[in-house]
Chain A
Amino acid sequence: MIRWPIIILLIFSFNSYAKYSKAIKYYKSNHKNKNILIAQELIKSKYYFSATYFLKQHLVESNQYSKELENMMEMVALKTGPLSFSNLHDSYLLKFNSHSLKFIHGLKSFRYKRYQSAINSLIKIPLDHRLAPESVFILGSSYQMKEQFDKARIYYKQCITLAEKNEDEAEHKKLKQYFGIIKESCIIHQARMEYRKGNYKRSLKIYDLIPKTSFRWPYILIEKAWVHYMLDDYNRSLGTLVTYKSPLLTSYFFPEAEYLTALNYFKLCLWGDSNQVIEHYYTTYKPRSEELKKFLIAHKSSHTYFLKILLSPIKDWENMSPYMRNLMTQVRKKIKFNLELINFKKVQNEMKYLVQRSKKKKDPLTTLLISEVKKMQSWRTKHLNHYIKKQMFSFINEIHRYSYEQFNIRLEIMALKRELVYDNKKLISNRSRGSLDNVTRTQKQHFYDFMGEFWADELGDYSFGLKSNCKKVKNKNK
């Protein structure tokens, strides 16, 4: 019986070997376009990270650029990620009329908050380019950051159409998910834009387009709660925030959500409830964050520790800190982290093949590539480790920031209580009770009493029914 897959694999590996040998031959030669020729052979043999070294050399040293080179650039940028080229100086990224390089420059400029520079580069990328969905997404965001909302809206619409098309055409599940997230991100950015402009009702309508099954949905609940707050619908805002207490969303803990809960109670003049939320924050979350801080500071200068922890089994680290599991789960769910992790594994794999090749037969090209790919591997390890570390430190900073903001609410409550004493008045009641009369609703909404159970289809649609306690009455007690 003929084992076809084995034969195909053998032919392929032989073919790949032949191409690599060609690369060695070019490396030894004095050919004018030697960098391109080596990169071409390396790409054919699937040594994408190795190829980036020679492509970058070409961009720095040569003035020649062709359509074939652009295709190579596009492929390598997609296979290794735009980060591989982002360390090049802007003058090299803008040296040629290359759409892939313009995309890398646009992305880099946005990250450095140079929005006009990002626009200048990205606007030149055609809509049929493979990186067009990302490109129009960044364009829309750049205009939004510059508060040019009409232009931003045009690009977000294009982004939704293009991402949807790519989502339908993508064959791999991960890629489908990726374009799905870009589409939803463009929708969410539109909602954020309306929020910034003060069109809260419109913003809410756009947020509602994101399905509850989406990966982005738990993250936008807090934003929706802010929209309800701005619409003075404090009961609905509290209801939206209570969704985070459901067992399904235990890994999502946002200090801002606690602050907004206290603020909503404050606006309803339910000072007791507000103080209770603040007290709980100080007694529960703050000590936990202090514990996490101690752990983070002990390893803050390590370039590998956090990545090693994340890649090890959960049981090894989940008891290190109460927030550890939540934070690690959130990091693991991030698309960026997953994509970078794939690239990290790819570079490790490439390194393994280069070392194997070197063991069989030493040649100058492989020796050079081992040294260069080792640098890339080390840089990517540090980059991933830094990404995890940054997420954790941002979380700690947020806990402290909102602790300060909650302290302000507490001071304000004390000041208002003092005012009441001076005026010889008191609030109408100590604690209002929930009632359907206090719930604002649209025609399509139906209400059921909450019996302490979180049903998946109801998540995010809760509303409190608390009556505002802000009416002051004369204090008759002496």
Chain B
Amino acid sequence: MTKLILLLSISWMSLSSQAQGENKNLIVKYKQYESFDLGNLEIEGKVIAPGDLSVKERQRKKFYRDLYVREDFNPEIFKDIDNLR
């Protein structure tokens, strides 16, 4: 049984390496030039009168800077104690 598995795996490996070799030789060519005749193109649809234009109104976002305001005088309290004898 093990011999069979070994044989199968060797044959699979050799086949896959062959396939890789074939891919290396593959040359892909893209179309270098193509022309469209726009006048000959047909668009399907109906011609209707334009209705009212509508734009969804939105309030512009306003950003405010957090300007510095004194919350306490703790640094000064600290300095006062530091100034004791």
Contacts and interface: CB of A to CB of B under 8 A. Distances in A.
B73 A195 contact: yes
Nearest to B80: A185
B65 A411 contact: yes
A137 B82 CA distance: 12
Given A259-B68, A415-B63, A111 B82 contact: yes
Interface in A114-137: 134, 137
B-side interface mostly: loop
A223 interface: yes
Given A196-B71, A334-B83, 7 more contacts: A111-B82, A192-B77, A195-B72, A196-B73, A336-B85, A412-B65, A419-B62
27 contacts: A110-B81, A141-B80, A145-B77, A178-B85, A185-B80, A192-B72, A192-B73, A192-B76, A192-B77, A195-B73, A196-B71, A223-B76, A226-B70, A230-B69, A259-B68, A263-B67, A334-B83, A336-B82, A405-B68, A408-B65, A408-B67, A408-B68, A411-B65, A412-B64, A412-B65, A412-B67, A422-B60
Contacts of B60: 422
Interface string A386-418: 000000000000000000010011011001000
A203 to B, nearest CB: 10
- The 5 A-B residue pairs whose C-beta atoms are closest, nearest first, are A336-B83, A192-B73, A196-B72, A226-B70, A339-B85
B18 interface: no
A81 interface: yes
A82 interface: yes
Interface in A176-226: 178, 182, 185, 188-189, 192, 195-196, 219, 223, 226
B47 interface: no
Given A145-B77, A195-B72, A419-B62, A137 B67 contact: no
Contacts of A335: 83, 85
Contacts of A137: 81, 84
B35 interface: no
A107 interface: yes
B77 A141 contact: yes
B74 interface: yes
A266 B63 CA distance: 17
Contacts of B67: 263, 266, 405, 408-409, 412
A138 interface: yes
Interface string A80-97: 011000000000000000
Give the interface size class of chain A: 35 or more
A134 B81 CA distance: 9
A163 to B, nearest CB: 12
A144 interface: yes
A190 to B, nearest CB: 11
A111 B82 CA distance: 7
Contact of B74 (A145, A263, A411): A145
B77 A189 contact: yes
A408 B84 CA distance: 37
Nearest to A83: B85
A58 to B, nearest CB: 23
Contacts of A189: 77, 80
Nearest to A337: B83
Contacts of B65: 408, 411-412, 415
Contacts of A223: 73, 76
A336 B77 contact: no
B49 to A, nearest CB: 34
A226 B84 CA distance: 26
Contacts of A144: 77
A233 B30 CA distance: 77
Contacts of A188: 80
Interface in A254-286: 259, 263, 266
B74 to A, nearest CB: 7
Contacts of B80: 141, 185, 188-189
A84 to B, nearest CB: 11
B32 to A, nearest CB: 52
Given A223-B73, A415-B63, A422-B60, A141 B81 contact: yes
B70 A336 contact: no
A282 B36 CA distance: 65
B84 to A, nearest CB: 6
B85 A138 contact: no
A111 B85 contact: no
Contacts of B72: 192, 195-196
Given A185-B80, A189-B77, A81 B64 contact: no
Contacts of A185: 80
A110 B60 CA distance: 50
Interface in B32-84: 60, 62-65, 67-74, 76-78, 80-84
